């Protein structure tokens, strides 16, 4: 359930770090060698042993929005030249769940598989023997893996049988939050700068202030360059609901996950219900046009590029490319983060940073005919050399060393900031291939953010908290998993009805009916399992911090 803090399907956390480079800003502390602490007695990287033998590995990415290819880009060619491996990406054209289930049922899983860590199919693939234990492959084919794999991540994802089946990307341990002061959340409340300031920078933290600001924006700015103003921008509505009106709104409202050590129901919290009624009121007044309910991410990206939204409950990282285009066109039309909906007590927002779970897990299928090359490819990408390549590019072509520090070349920076598609075709650095990105490692190389991306990110810093212990995933086919999925689908159907309710009485009746259905579908078991995992996660996170 999205209330449990997982990344929603299709969202990328902090994958465009190099977008923030400008001019002569330096990567701090970059090197181009192997892992720190490596010695002459350390095992040799397996990928070096087979670089002369060409092989193609298929790699399934369980996100329909993923469109990157293994092309003639600098990074792709360099990886292939150094490892002998080419990649053939496979993505779902429609429903991710159905595509993955079909491949599992038919025994056609590709060589490597990357999917959200929360997906129940992960447990199914492990228990049904569809994927290799990475530890066994590493021991047999590439002991170098243990040089580059993060021990806390390995410990976190090692299963009860002693095996490690998947490795995460974008994973942070609690200690990382103590080491770095620039780890922010993706979740924001955004407003179009020029319109917001023209309205007098209104307070939008209360229901009354929010309603009035949206009304005023619609009245005073009915048309913008891109067309009719859309007063509020939300993530797409899918069969499970709407991420903007669940995870993001709940976290802006600082609705707690637990009380007295027990996982609670955030959906029935009075502050959350009160704010859902605000959005119902907006719809009643014609301020939530049909496209808010119908548009998908691609359509939203187009409309964000032309600044059609007044305000958005959105992840700022998901509109980074659009922000750059807006900034180049007119710096006053960019989206800035401001304090948004707050609870009745006026408490600060509580926004999640990335936790030890990370974002995705990558596994190796037992269909893979070259498991040795697959584990060696993972080791390559996890190494400092691989991270430097996929993040910064190639020395002498995308960056130069100045006083021992890499500086992004001006023409590369210009292309990165103006035409991401062409940048990917030509260079494909900046985590284009993000499947095993190590953001904690990359923090040491990261410059200070610059406009227009700096303000939304920096706004999140004081509100960002480590909430990994609230991230819950359910074992496939378990009673809790089936109940959770059924409840999610009922909620997905109920949420639009709540917003379209003709009055509050109808809203209340619909919500009460949802609560009744939920109880009969096993919601108590869902909360019980969430509590169990929360308690266990707290214990394990504490254990990870022991030297």
Alpha helices for 35-113 (secondary structure H): 46-49, 74-83, 96-106
Mean pLDDT lowest for which of 52-61, 271-280, 296-305, 427-436? 296-305
Give ∠ CA 14-20-23 in degrees, rounded to 5. 165
For range 282-293, the mean pLDDT: 98
Q: What is the pLDDT of residues 63-75, one digit of tens each?
A: 998 999 999 999 9
Query: What CA–CA distance (Å, rounded) separates 438 from 356?
Result: 12
Average pLDDT, the chain: 90
Reduce the DSSP state of residue 188 to 3 states and report it: strand
412 Cβ contact partners less than 8 Å away, ≥ 6 residues apart:
393, 398, 399, 423, 427
Q: How confident is the model at residue 182 (pLDDT cuts 50, 70, 90)?
A: confident
Higher pLDDT, 509 or 32: 509
Task: State the pLDDT at residue 314.
Answer: 98
In order of start, what are the domains of the chain with their CATH numbers?
Answer: 1-26+187-352+448-547 (3.40.190.10), 28-178+356-446 (3.40.190.10)
Share of the chain above pLDDT 70, in %: 92
Give ∠ CA 484-489-492 in degrees, rounded to 5. 125
For range 102-127, the mean pLDDT: 96
306 Cβ contact partners less than 8 Å away, ≥ 6 residues apart:
224, 225, 226, 227
Task: State the pLDDT at residue 445.
Answer: 80
Task: State the pLDDT at residue 28.
Answer: 32
Query: What CA–CA distance (Å, rounded) separates 289 from 212?
Result: 17
Reduce the DSSP state of residue 350 to 3 states and report it: coil
Would you tell me how many other CB atoms lie within 10 Å of the CB of residue 92? Answer: 19
Task: State the pLDDT at residue 545.
Answer: 52
Give ∠ CA 210-318-180 in degrees, rounded to 5. 95
For range 522-532, the mean pLDDT: 97
Reduce the DSSP state of residue 41 to 3 states and report it: coil
Per-residue pLDDT at 17 exceeds 80:
no
SS3 assignment for 93-144: CCCHHHHHHHHHHHCCCCCEEEEECCCCHHHHHHHCCCECCHHHHHHHHCCC
Higher pLDDT, 429 or 180: 429
Which of 21, 11, 2 is closest to 413 using CA atoms? 21
Task: State the pLDDT at residue 2.
Answer: 26
What are the CA-CA distances from residue 137 to residues 43, 166, 168, 201, 277 (Å)? 15, 12, 17, 57, 53
Higher pLDDT, 75 or 546: 75
> Per mean pLDDT, which of 91-95, 319-323, 492-496 is the most reliable?
492-496
For range 493-497, the mean pLDDT: 99
Strand segments (E) across 258-398: 258-259, 262-263, 309-315, 335-337, 351-352, 360-364
Q: How many helices (H) and strands (E) does the chain have?
A: 24, 17
Task: State the pLDDT at residue 21.
Answer: 36
Question: What is the model's pTM?
Answer: 0.82
Q: What is the pLDDT of residues 190-237, one digit of tens each?
A: 999 999 999 999 999 999 999 999 999 999 999 999 899 999 999 999
Per-residue pLDDT at 5 exceeds 50:
no
For range 135-143, the mean pLDDT: 98
Written as six digits, the tokens of 390 are: 């996929």
What are the CA-CA distances from residue 250 to residues 226, 246, 267, 397, 501 (Å)? 30, 6, 8, 45, 21
Task: State the pLDDT at residue 34.
Answer: 37
Written as six digits, the tokens of 478 are: 């378990």
Higher pLDDT, 9 or 390: 390
Task: State the pLDDT at residue 543.
Answer: 66
Which of 388, 378, 459, 398 is closest to 135 using CA atoms? 378
């Amino acid at each position: 359930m999205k209330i449990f803090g997982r990344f929603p399907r299709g969202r990328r956390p902090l994958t465009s770090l190099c977008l923030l480079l400008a001019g002569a800003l330096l990567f701090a502390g970059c090197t181009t060698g192997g892992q720190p602490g490596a010695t002459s007695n350390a095992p040799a990287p397996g990928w070096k042993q087979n670089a002369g033998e060409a092989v193609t590995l298929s790699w399934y990415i369980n996100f329909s929005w993923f469109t990157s290819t293994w092309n003639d880009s600098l990074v792709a060619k360099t990886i292939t030249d150094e490892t002998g491996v080419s990649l053939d990406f496979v993505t779902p054209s429609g429903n991710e769940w159905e595509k993955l289930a079909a491949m599992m049922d038919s025994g056609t899983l590709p060589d490597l598989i990357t999917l959200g860590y929360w997906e129940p199919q992960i447990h199914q693939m492990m228990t049904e023997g569809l994927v290799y234990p990475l530890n066994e492959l590493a021991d047999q084919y590439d002991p170098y893996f243990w040089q580059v794999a993060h021990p806390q991540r390995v410990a976190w994802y090692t299963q009860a049988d002693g095996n490690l089946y998947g490795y995460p990307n974008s994973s942070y341990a609690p200690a990382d939050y103590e080491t770095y002061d620039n780890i922010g959340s993706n979740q924001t409340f955004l407003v179009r700068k020029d319109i917001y300031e023209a309205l007098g920078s209104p307070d939008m933290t209360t229901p009354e202030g929010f309603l009035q600001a949206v009304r005023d924006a619609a009245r005073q700015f009915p048309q913008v360059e891109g067309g009719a103003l859309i007063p509020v921008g939300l993530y797409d509505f899918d069969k499970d609901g709407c991420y903007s009106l669940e995870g993001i709104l709940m976290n802006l409202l600082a609705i707690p996950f637990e009380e007295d050590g027990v996982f609670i129901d955030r959906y029935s919290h009075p502050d959350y219900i009160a704010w859902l009624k605000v959005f119902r009121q907006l719809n009643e007044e014609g301020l939530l046009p049909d496209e808010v309910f119908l548009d998908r991410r691609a359509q939203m990206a187009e409309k964000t590029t032309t600044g059609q939204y007044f305000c958005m409950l959105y992840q700022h990282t998901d509109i980074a490319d659009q922000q750059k285009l807006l900034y180049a066109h007119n710096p006053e039309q960019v989206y800035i983060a401001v304090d948004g909906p707050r609870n009745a007590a006026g408490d600060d927002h509580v926004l999640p940073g990335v936790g030890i779970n990370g974002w995705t897990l990558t596994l190796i299928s037992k269909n893979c005919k070259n498991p040795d090359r697959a584990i060696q490819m993972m080791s390559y990408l996890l190494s400092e050399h691989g991270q430097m390549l996929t993040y910064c590019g190639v020395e002498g072509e995308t960056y130069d060393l100045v006083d021992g520090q890499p500086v992004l070349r001006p023409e590369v920076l210009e292309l990165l900031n103006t035409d991401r598609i062409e940048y990917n075709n030509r260079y494909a650095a900046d985590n284009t291939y993000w499947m095993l990105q190590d953001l904690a490692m990359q923090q040491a190389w990261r410059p200070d953010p610059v406009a227009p991306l700096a303000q939304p990110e920096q706004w999140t810093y004081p509100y960002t908290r480590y909430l990994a212990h609230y991230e819950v995933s359910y074992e496939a086919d378990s009673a809790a998993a089936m109940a959770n999925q059924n409840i999610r689908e009922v909620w997905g159907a109920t949420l639009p009805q709540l917003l379209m309710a003709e009055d509050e009485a109808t809203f209340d009746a619909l919500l009460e009916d949802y609560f009744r259905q939920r109880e009969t579908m096993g919601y108590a078991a869902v909360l019980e399992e969430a509590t169990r995992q929360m308690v266990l996660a707290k214990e394990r996170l504490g254990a990870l911090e022991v030297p």
